[in-house]
């Protein structure tokens, strides 16, 4: 499989309701398992359960390879939507 973008979201179901979300990240990898490994290597995996999905659309470099909070994800979503609409 060719290298692509992977969105990974982290949550801890053992935490109190409203505090379970731990963040998300976008990394480049060849597979889901490699993407999870990349988060460990980069030190951006906060633990908990992880889920993810691959996608093809390019991502601005400022959002790659770091733990993102909701406000950043909403901003990225808006930027990507604007790019698709233009």
State the pLDDT confidence band at 26, using cuts at 50, 70 and 90.
Answer: very high
pLDDT, tens only, 54-85? 988 788 899 999 999 889 999 998 988 887 77
Which DSSP letter does residue 64 get?
B
Question: Judging by DSSP bridges, how do beta strands 21-29 and 49-55 pair with one another?
Answer: unpaired
The residues near 4 (Cβ < 8 Å, ≥ 6 apart) are 28, 29, 30, 54, 55, 56
The domains of the chain are located at 4-85
Q: Model-level pTM?
A: 0.88
Predicted local distance difference test score (pLDDT) of residue 57: 77
């Amino acid at each position: 499989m060719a290298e692509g973008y992977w969105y990974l979201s982290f949550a801890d179901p053992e935490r109190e309701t409203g505090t379970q979300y731990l963040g998300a990240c976008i990394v480049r990898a060849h597979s889901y398992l490699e993407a999870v490994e990349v988060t460990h290597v980069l030190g951006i995996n906060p633990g908990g359960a992880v889920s993810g999905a691959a996608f093809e659309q390019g991502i601005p470099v400022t959002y790659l390879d770091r733990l993102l909070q909701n406000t950043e994800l909403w901003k990225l979503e808006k930027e990507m939507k604007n790019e698709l609409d233009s």
